Amino acid sequence: MDTYSLQWAISACDSLTSTQKLVGLMLALHIGKKSGRIRVSQELADNLLFCGEQDDLFELLGNLLDNAHKFAISEIHLQMQTTAEGLRICLSDDGPGVPEALRERILQRGVRADNSTGQGIGLGVCSEIVHSYHGTIEVAESELGGARFTIWLPARAS
Half-sphere exposure of 31 (CA within 13 A, CB side): 6
Picking from 120, 108, 130, 7, the residue whose alpha carbon sits closest to that of residue 60 is 130
**pLDDT tens for residues 26-42?**
666 656 565 457 888 88
pLDDT, one tens digit per residue, over 3-13 is: 333 344 444 44
* 55-68 confidence digits (pLDDT tens): 888 889 888 988 89
**What is the rounded distance in angstroms from the CA atom of residue 71 to the CA atom of residue 68?**
5
φ and ψ at 96, to 5 degrees?
Answer: -70, -15
pLDDT grade, residue 157 (50/70/90)? Answer: low
Averaged pLDDT for residues 125-139: 93
pTM: predicted TM-score of the whole model, two decimal places:
0.77
Question: How crowded is residue 76: how many other Cβ atoms within 10 Å of its Cβ?
Answer: 28
